[in-house]
């Protein structure tokens, strides 16, 4: 895996369904997004070390609950600050 690896999502739009602060440091570190407008999550991103940058991106293109692709970094879908 590389930091420049891109992930394909179900669509080109992005609606964040959940933005969470799981380690309670006042900064977002979890983003769950819908990229095709159907209201279901298919893009999951995590800041695992608290530096404010996405460390892991997972996509579930067929929305079966199992990740179809996991990459290091933002996967070409860096969340809005």
Strands (E), the chain: 15-20, 30-34, 43-46, 56-59, 69-72
Domain hosting residue 64, numbered range: 15-72
The total of structural domains in the chain comes to: 1
Please check whether residue 2 is in contact with residue 8, taking contact to mean a CB–CB distance below 8 angstroms: no
Q: For the chain, what is the mean pLDDT?
A: 92
Predicted confidence at residue 80, as pLDDT, reads 79
pLDDT at 4: 65
Q: Is residue 37 part of a domain?
A: yes
Could you give the angle at the alpha carbon of 62 between the alpha carbons of 16 and 4, nearest 5°? 65
In a domain, 42, yes or no: yes
Residues 48-71 have a mean pLDDT of: 95
C-alpha Rg value of the chain to the nearest Å:
12
3-class DSSP assignment, residue 56: strand
Q: Do residues 16 and 28 make contact, with C-beta atoms less than 8 angstroms apart?
A: no
Residue 64 contacts by C-beta under 8 Å, 6 or more apart in sequence?
none
Other Cβ atoms within 10 Å of 54 Cβ, number: 22
Domain membership flag for residue 49: yes
């Amino acid at each position: 895996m590389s930091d420049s690896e891109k992930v394909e999502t179900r669509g080109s739009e992005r609606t964040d369904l959940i933005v969470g602060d799981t380690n309670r440091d006042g900064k977002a570190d979890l983003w769950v997004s819908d990229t095709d407008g159907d209201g279901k999550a298919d893009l999951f991103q995590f800041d695992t070390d608290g530096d404010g940058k996405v460390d892991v991106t997972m996509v579930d293109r067929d929305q079966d609950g199992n990740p179809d692709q996991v990459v290091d970094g933002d996967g070409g879908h860096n969340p809005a600050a």
